[in-house]
C-alpha cells in the first residue's frame, strides 16, 4: 500500500511505509530481514509471522513509571477537545502506524480504544462508537483484528480481583466489559479473544478462599465462552499465563497450570494459550519451554512477543531482539504447522526515554526483523534435519519391539520389570544427550549456515 494516513492529520510525518532494504541497509527505518512477500518453506513471511500491534503500549502507554511522570506526550491527546475526541484521533494515529509499519493485525483492550463513561451503558456506547470507526478503517486499510480483550486490571474496583473478586457486584461489572468487548471483537471479525488475569490471584491467604475463587473464575469464563459462541464468535479464546505482577499469586501461573485448569472445567476445546515471553521468564521458564508445553498439550494459540530482562523480576515488555529466542519460538511454530488464529502480537513498549515518534517504528522494525531471522533459521533446522532427527532417534527404542508395546499400553508393570531383570544393568542408560553438540549445530543455523 502507498504512503498512507487515515484522518485529517498525519501523526507520524516524515515516516513513510517501511520498506525492505536488505541486510546491508543502514536506514533505521527500513527492514533488513523482514521481506513480507519472501517465501519460506512455500509460505510468505507475512503469512508465517502474522504480526500484530498492541494498541495499549503503542498509543496509550505514556512512559510514566512508579517514580516519574509521563514522558510520551501524544498529539492525539494534547490536540483533543475531550476523551472521545482523543480516542477518535488516537485511532487515526493507530491505523496510520499499522499501515506504515506493514503489520497485518492489531490487538486492543476496550479501554485502550474508548474511554470509560459515567456508567456501563455509556462505556459501551463509547466502545461501539469507536468500533464502528475501527470497522471502517479495517476495511479501508486491510488491517485485521488478531484479538480483543477487556481491560480488567486498571480500575480500582478490580483491586480485590475480577472474576475472583469476593464481591458479586464486581463480577457483574466485569461482565459488562467482557460482554461489550466480545460484541466489539465479533463486529470487527476478531480472530481471538484474550483473558489475561493479572488481578485473578491473591495477596494474602488470610483473606482468601482459593477454591471459591477458582470456581468463580471458571464459571465466568464458561459464561463468556457460551455468550461468544451464541453470538457467532468463531475465533479462539485465549488465556495468557503469568505467574505474578500485579497479584502476588496469580492463578494462571504458567501453561501447565492453565492447561490443567481448563481441562478440569471442560474449557479446553474453546481456549488456547497466548504465551508471552516475558511472562514465561517470570515463571522461571524459557519462552521455548512454554511454547513447547502448549504445543504438546495441543493448546498452543498465539504469542505476545517481547522480552524481559533476566536481572529484573518484573515485566519490562521490551522488544524481542534475540535471534536465539526468536529461532526457537519459530521452530515450535513451524513444527506444529504454523499459526492458525494466532500471531505474533508485539506486547512491547519503547523505553521511557525513547521519546522520538520514530522510536516506535524502530522498536517494531527490530523485532519484526528478529522474527524474520528466527523464521529462516527455524526453517534451516527443519530442512537440514539434524536436530529433529536427533530427537526422533533419541526415543527410537519406543518405536519397535517391547518399547512399542509399552507405548501402546500393552504391558503390565510385572512384564516391564521382567524385561529389566532379564537385561541386567550393563551399560543401559549410558547414552550422551549431546547438548553441546546440538547447541553448536544451532549456532551454525543462526549464522545462516
Ligand atoms: C500484562 C499483559 C497484558 C495482556 C493483555 O502483563 O501482558 O498486556 O497481554 O491484557
Ligand atoms: Co501480554
DSSP conformation letters of 371-405: HHHHHHHHHHHHHH-HHHHHHHHHTGGGSSHHHHH
Task: List pLDDT tens digits, range 369-419.
Answer: 999 999 999 999 999 999 999 999 999 999 999 999 999 999 999 999 999
196 CA closest ligand 1 atom index: 10
422 CA distance to ligand 2 centroid (A)? 53
Per-residue cell: 121: 451503558
CA distance 114 to 88: 8
Peptide bond into 3 cis (omega under 30): no
CA distance 352 to 345: 21
* 8 — pLDDT class (breaks 50, 70, 90): confident
Cβ 400 vs Cβ 355: under 8 Å: no
Q: Which residues pair with 107 in a beta bridge?
A: 54, 147
Q: Which residues line ligand 1 (CB under 6 A)?
A: 109, 149, 194, 196, 198, 240, 242, 276, 304, 315, 347
* 449 — pLDDT class (breaks 50, 70, 90): confident
* 2 — pLDDT class (breaks 50, 70, 90): very low
Domain boundaries, the chain: 19-383, 387-446
Rounded to an integer, the average pLDDT of 75-83 is 96
Look up 109 and say whether it is catalytic. Answer: yes
Task: List pLDDT tens digits, range 155-166.
Answer: 999 999 999 999
pLDDT at 277 over 90: yes
- Ligand 1: which of 55, 198, 246 to mutate, judged by most atoms within 8 Å of the beta carbon? 198
How many CB atoms lie under 10 A from the CB of residue 119? 10
CA distance 241 to 104: 25
Q: Which of 48, 57, 109, 285 is catalytic?
A: 109
The residue contributing the CA closest to ligand 1 atom 2 is 196
- Residue 1: the pLDDT is 40
- Residue 4: the pLDDT is 58
**426 CB-contact burial (10 Å; exposed 0-12 / middle 13-18 / buried 19+):** exposed
Per-residue cell: 360: 516506535
CA distance 405 to 367: 46
Distances in Å between the Cα of 81 and the Cα atoms of 77, 91, 132, 249, 433 are 9, 15, 20, 41, 64
Look up 279 and say whether it is catalytic. Answer: no
CA distance 190 to 147: 5
The residue contributing the CA closest to ligand 1 atom 6 is 315
How many CB atoms lie under 10 A from the CB of residue 239? 26
305 CA distance to ligand 2 centroid (A)? 8
CA distance 102 to 399: 46
Q: What are phi and psi of 346, to 5 degrees?
A: -75, 85
- Residue 238: the pLDDT is 99
151 CA closest ligand 1 atom index: 10
pLDDT at 204 over 60: yes
The three-class DSSP label of residue 202 is: strand
- Residue 359: the pLDDT is 98
pLDDT at 97 over 70: yes
304 CA closest ligand 1 atom index: 9
Distances in Å between the Cα of 198 and the Cα atoms of 5, 202, 244, 411 are 35, 10, 7, 45
Architecture of domain 19-383: Alpha-Beta Barrel (3.20)
Task: List pLDDT tens digits, range 216-267.
Answer: 999 999 999 999 999 999 999 999 999 999 999 999 999 999 999 999 999 9
The residue contributing the CA closest to ligand 1 atom 8 is 347
60 CA distance to ligand 2 centroid (A)? 15
Amino acid at each position: 500500500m502507498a504512503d498512507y494516513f487515515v484522518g485529517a492529520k498525519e501523526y507520524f510525518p516524515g515516516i513513510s511505509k517501511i520498506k525492505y532494504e536488505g541486510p546491508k541497509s543502514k536506514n533505521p527505518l527500513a527492514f533488513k530481514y523482514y521481506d513480507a512477500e519472501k517465501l519460506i518453506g512455500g509460505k510468505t513471511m507475512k503469512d508465517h509471522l502474522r504480526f500484530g500491534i498492541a494498541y495499549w503500549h503503542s498509543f496509550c502507554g505514556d512512559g510514566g513509571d512508579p517514580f516519574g511522570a509521563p514522558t510520551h506526550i501524544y498529539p492525539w491527546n494534547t490536540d483533543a477537545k475531550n476523551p472521545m475526541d482523543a480516542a477518535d484521533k488516537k485511532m487515526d494515529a493507530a491505523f496510520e502506524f499499522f499501515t506504515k509499519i506493514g503489520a497485518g493485525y492489531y490487538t486492543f483492550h476496550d479501554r485502550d480504544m474508548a474511554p470509560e463513561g459515567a456508567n456501563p451503558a455509556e462505556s459501551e456506547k463509547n466502545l461501539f462508537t469507536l468500533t464502528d470507526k475501527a470497522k471502517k478503517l479495517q476495511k479501508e486499510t486491510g488491517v485485521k483484528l488478531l484479538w480483543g480483550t477487556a481491560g480488567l486490571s486498571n480500575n480500582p474496583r478490580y483491586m480485590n480481583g475480577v472474576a475472583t473478586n469476593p464481591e458479586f457486584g464486581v463480577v457483574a461489572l466485569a461482565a459488562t466489559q467482557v460482554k461489550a468487548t466480545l460484541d466489539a471483537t465479533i463486529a470487527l471479525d476478531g480472530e481471538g479473544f484474550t483473558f489475561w488475569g493479572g488481578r485473578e490471584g491473591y495477596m494474602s491467604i488470610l483473606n482468601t478462599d482459593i477454591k471459591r475463587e477458582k470456581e468463580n473464575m471458571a464459571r465466568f469464563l464458561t459464561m463468556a465462552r457460551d455468550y461468544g459462541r451464541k453470538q457467532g464468535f468463531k475465533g479462539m479464546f485465549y488465556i495468557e499465563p503469568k505467574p505474578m505482577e500485579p497479584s502476588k499469586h496469580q492463578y494462571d501461573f504458567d501453561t501447565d497450570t492453565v492447561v490443567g485448569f481448563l481441562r478440569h472445567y471442560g474449557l479446553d476445546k474453546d481456549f488456547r494459550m497466548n504465551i508471552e515471553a516475558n511472562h514465561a521468564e517470570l515463571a522461571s521458564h524459557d519462552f521455548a519451554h512454554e511454547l513447547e508445553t502448549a504445543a504438546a498439550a495441543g493448546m498452543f494459540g498465539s504469542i505476545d512477543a517481547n522480552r524481559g530482562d533476566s536481572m529484573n523480576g518484573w515485566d519490562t515488555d521490551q522488544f524481542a531482539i534475540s535471534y536465539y529466542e526468536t529461532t526457537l519460538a519459530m521452530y515450535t511454530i513451524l513444527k506444529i504447522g504454523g499459526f492458525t488464529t494466532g500471531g505474533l502480537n508485539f506486547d512491547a513498549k519503547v523505553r521511557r526515554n525513547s521519546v522520538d515518534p520514530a522510536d516506535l517504528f524502530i522498536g517494531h522494525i527490530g523485532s519484526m526483523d528478529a522474527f524474520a531471522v528466527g523464521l529462516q533459521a527455524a526453517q534451516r533446522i527443519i530442512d537440514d534435519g539434524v536436530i529433529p532427527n536427533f530427537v526422533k532417534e533419541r526415543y527410537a527404542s519406543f518405536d519397535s519391539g517391547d518399547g512399542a508395546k509399552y507405548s501402546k499400553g500393552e504391558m503390565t508393570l510385572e512384564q516391564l520389570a521382567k524385561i529389566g531383570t532379564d537385561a541386567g544393568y550393563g551399560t543401559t542408560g549410558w547414552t550422551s544427550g549431546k547438548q553441546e553438540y546440538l547447541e553448536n549445530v544451532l549456532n551454525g543455523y543462526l549464522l545462516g549456515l
